[in-house]
Amino acid sequence: MSTYKFFNRDLSWLSFNNRVLDEARNKNLPLYERIKFLAIYSSNLDEFYRIRVASYQRFTELPVEDKLQLRENPDLTLKKIKQQVNKQQLEFGKIFTKEIIPELLENNIVLMQGEKLSEEHYEYTKEFFLDNLLPHMQPMLLLKKQIQPFLKNNAIYLAVKLYKKRGKKDNPDKPRRAKYAIVRIPNNRFDRFVELPSVNDKHQIMFLDDIVKLHIKVVFPGFKIDSTYSFKMSRDADFLIEDEYSGNIMHMIERNLKKRETGDPSRFLYDENIPRDFLNLLKLAFNLTNTELVKGARYHNFQDFFMFPNPAGPELEDSPFHALKVKELGQSKSMFKAIRKRDILLHYPYQSYEYVIRFLNEAAIDPKVEEIKATQYRVAKNSAVVNALINAALNGKKVTVLVELKARFDEEANMNSARAMTKAGVKIIYSLPGLKVHAKIALVIRKEDKEDYAYLSTGNFNEKTARIYADHGLFTSNEATISELKLLFNYLEDQKTECEFNKLLIGQFNMRDKFLNKIDREIKHVENGKKGHLILKMNGLQERQMIKKLYEASTKGVKIDLIIRGICCLIPNKPYSKNIRIIRIVDQFLEHARVFYFHNNGENEVYLSSADWMSRNLHRRIECAFPIEPPKLKQELIDILNIQLKDNTNGRIINEKLENIKPKIDIGEQVNRAQKDIFRYIKEKELAKKSKI
């Protein structure tokens, strides 16, 4: 059908980030949780400008004839992005100034923003500035026809307008000519927030920026300060490794990482109160275009609010979350023996991630284990996973790890862990040319036949993010799964290996076609007078062939429930999408799992996967989707999906205008909050297990 339409992926993403901002308005949350969502919104937006907006800006430089070949006009898209961001930034400012600041004050926390200081506090800040900050102040004058200073990515600067003080011999009637300078705020060396001495049980906190502003005259002796305004530069952080590149990929990435911090400007965020002539001077000084100029408020880098001090106590924060233990694993002395009895499905962060570490540690010391294979995409700092693999190698096991060096913003961390593992004797396979390996899989091979074990997951091998990312992981000894995982690892080691997958759906092999076939099967069931139903949960849905197939299924009468956290290019409420509902859940934990349910005429199929339905996942990555076959485990996942579909507290329905619509709750209707309800559901199942002991 040629009339199918699609949301722009980046405007859709802005809708998601607006939903994050919406949580900062949520007065049912503890105050510091709301502050955290402001920080998440800001951090998200910074990355968006460094990657996505930077890409559009490169497209705007193309010749007109080349622009016509693009699917969308980059200039028009940038204009729409700017409109949406400006609108959201205004809302951000209202939430911060009209809600967060007053509520901090109600809790005796005063965030100072230019208020006149008491003499005690003034002297405290002066001493702090002279003792700590002044040695790191490096003022730079902006002079015409001279090389201008380089602005570091995401650093905060003050633009300073100043005049030379008049000498005794100067003519007092002669107009003074303004000079201009910039000074970097040294928040790379000091905390962004400084706690002042408490007075009358009130906790005063001050931005580092304001301490610099207050005492900046010390930096410019002989000058009178006229005004100061903050700004920051975001730089293009995207770099591409050519698909055909076959040299030392680690050296190539190291070289590109150095370029990341010197990339072209993607956003120049400035204080909206700066006079137009001053802004134009900065624009000229740093060779900026109007497209790169983005109006902001007095303060930037709100991601620093992740570390905002809390002198009032833990009652302003969420209660600590304690992950549940798993009965069959807790009772068993051996992970392998427990997995041998039955497949074990875990749900993070509701259940403890320690079992994954225990699984790898047991493999490291088990004398029957010959070999361990695993993939690494994003691991934790001082990773327990990496330590377990190193211990296995030191214990004489053959350990092979595919380290994806092209995991954006984790390249350096992955290189460091690869070097540490190599030193211990681990065989490292680096990124494949033209592909990212995004599958989250581990394989333990033992001496005896038919005693091998696997772990497959929707999330990374990262014990720290497993506390805040909602994912699923499967331990299994299923022979067919093990056999196909061995085949996949053989391919990762040698791309000449011929592969045929039946049980697993593997990106670059059979994943996309298999998913399309399963949707076609639902269509045929409806055409034969039977029920057709899909529940598809992903982080992102953008690949057009998949969306077209969902549109087709909708027109044929298949009921489709989508749970999409982020980008969703499918437009609901159109004639061709009338049977499609889109739910977005933003809550305490980041929804990260990919779950695919196919009704299949009552013979339900459920797959877990590392892959979203984005072009990158289905065309340029090695991904893995795996079936959940034991009926009880399958029903668990179906129950969890249905709990999420009923969320009328943190769930939102996405409409045809990309708005996040909160479901109406009728009088007497049950209030549902999926993440709380899922935790309760899993806890009750664990208690039921214990009662049978």
477 lies in the same domain as 519? no
Instruction: Give this prediction's pTM.
Output: 0.92
DSSP string, 507-539: TTTTHHHHHHHHHHHHHHHHHTTS--EEEEEES
Question: What CA–CA distance (Å, rounded) separates 105 from 85?
Answer: 28
Number of domains in the chain: 3
CATH number at residue 675: 3.30.870.10
3-class SS at 496? coil
Instruction: Render pLDDT for 544-568 as a digit per residue (tens, 0 to 9).
Output: 999 999 999 999 999 999 999 999 9
Higher pLDDT residue, 30 or 222?
A: 30
> Burial letters for 92-113: b for 16+ Cβ neighbours within 10 Å, e otherwise?
beebbeeebeeebeebebbbbe
Q: What is the DSSP letter of 495?
A: T
335 lies in the same domain as 355? yes
572, 580 in Cβ contact below 8 A?
A: yes
The band of 173, judged by pLDDT with boundaries at 50, 70 and 90, is low
Catalytic residue from among 203, 215, 438, 533: 438
User: Which of 110, 415, 50 is closest to 267 using CA atoms?
Assistant: 50
Residue owning tokens 């209707």:
669
Query: Is 4 inside a domain boundary?
Result: no
At 413, the amino acid letter reads A
Instruction: Render pLDDT for 242-300 as a digit per residue (tens, 0 to 9).
Output: 433 444 556 656 665 566 666 788 899 999 999 999 999 999 899 898 888 988 889 99
Helices (H) and strands (E) in the chain, counts: 21, 28
Among residues 285, 316, 347, which one ends one of the domains? 316
How confident is the model at residue 2, as a pLDDT? 63
Question: What CA–CA distance (Å, rounded) separates 613 from 541?
Answer: 5
How confident is the model at residue 254, as a pLDDT? 61
Query: Is 139 inside a domain boundary?
Result: yes
CATH number at residue 130: 3.30.1840.10
Query: Is 292 inside a domain boundary?
Result: yes
In sequence order, the 6+-apart residues with CB closer than 8 A to the CB of 9 are 542, 567, 569
Question: What CA–CA distance (Å, rounded) separates 675 from 590?
Answer: 10
572 lies in the same domain as 621? yes
340 lies in the same domain as 489? yes
Q: What is the DSSP letter of 71?
A: S
User: Which of 528, 498, 511, 519 is closest to 613 using CA atoms?
Assistant: 511
> Burial letters for 389-406: b for 16+ Cβ neighbours within 10 Å, e otherwise?
bbbbbeeebebbbbbbbb
Query: Is 442 inside a domain boundary?
Result: yes
59 lies in the same domain as 145? yes
How confident is the model at residue 453, as a pLDDT? 97
Query: Is 572 inside a domain boundary?
Result: yes
Query: Is 2 inside a domain boundary?
Result: no
616 lies in the same domain as 682? yes
Domain extent, residue 291, equals 9-316
300 lies in the same domain as 404? no
Q: What is the DSSP letter of 96?
A: I
24, 206 in Cβ contact below 8 A?
A: no
DSSP string, 32-84: HHHHHHHHHHHHHHHHHIIIIIHHHHHHHTS-HHHHTTSSS-HHHHHHHHHHH
220, 160 in Cβ contact below 8 A?
A: yes
595 lies in the same domain as 480? no
The band of 588, judged by pLDDT with boundaries at 50, 70 and 90, is very high
Query: Is 322 inside a domain boundary?
Result: no
650 lies in the same domain as 541? yes
3-class SS at 181? strand
Return the H-helix or E-strand segment holding 27.
Answer: none
Ramachandran area for residue 184 (φ above 0: left; ψ -120 to 50: alpha; else beta) = beta
Active site residue 438: yes
586 lies in the same domain as 480? no
3-class SS at 295? strand
pLDDT over threshold 80, residue 488: yes
548 lies in the same domain as 612? yes
How confident is the model at residue 246, as a pLDDT? 44
164 lies in the same domain as 233? yes
Query: Is 355 inside a domain boundary?
Result: yes
